[in-house]
Amino acid sequence: MKTFRSNIDQDNRPVLLFFHCVFDGDETIEHYMHEFDHELYRSLPNLYAVCIAETKKEHKKLTAGFFIKTDYTHHDSEFMGILCKAIDLIPRLKKRINENSSLIPIRLGIDQEEIPPTELEMLEVMVTQNLKISVGGIA
């Protein structure tokens, strides 16, 4: 289970990471579901898909991504720290971070996401984001 406590602020709020994927150079996607507490999932209001993109000169490509559920929003000052902490939990994601990386969070659920998206739905989100983000890339 990839649940962690933020411990970035005094509240020590839970964050649930339940899916990640890595885009390989040969245009394949390795993807992994993580076991998680469904009660905790239902108790957290905000669902995010987070894309990891790399920019070199004018070319941007999606290299990895993950899904989290949290009570943080992208407006919170701690939010980027939470994303970095999530990345630190997954060695495959951590390998994709370098000085040319950017994190692109996409808020998907607001207070009503009782049922997690399926693995296929999460892959579809990542492939769609790959098409939107990648300049000159093929998904």
User: How do the domains of the chain map onto residue ranges?
Assistant: 2-133
Contact (Cβ atoms closer than 8 angstroms) between residue 137 and residue 78? no
Contact (Cβ atoms closer than 8 angstroms) between residue 132 and residue 104? no
Mean pLDDT of the chain: 85
Residue-level pLDDT at 79: 93
Residue-level pLDDT at 101: 93
Contact (Cβ atoms closer than 8 angstroms) between residue 37 and residue 108? no
Tell me which DSSP letter residue 25 carries: T
pLDDT at 9 over 60: no
Residue-level pLDDT at 137: 46
Q: What's the rounded mean pLDDT across residues 129-139?
A: 68
Contact (Cβ atoms closer than 8 angstroms) between residue 21 and residue 30? yes
Q: Kindly report, residue by residue over 37-58, the tens digit of the pLDDT.
A: 889 999 899 999 999 999 887 7
Residue-level pLDDT at 58: 76
Give the 3-state secondary structure of residue 31: strand
Nearest-10 Cα torsion for 110, 53, 91, 125: 40
CA distance 57 to 63: 16
Nearest-10 Cα torsion for 53, 82, 127, 28: 70
Give the 3-state secondary structure of residue 28: coil
Instruction: Name the least confident of 32-36, 83-87, 88-92, 130-134.
Output: 130-134
Report the percent of the chain where pLDDT is more than 90: 56
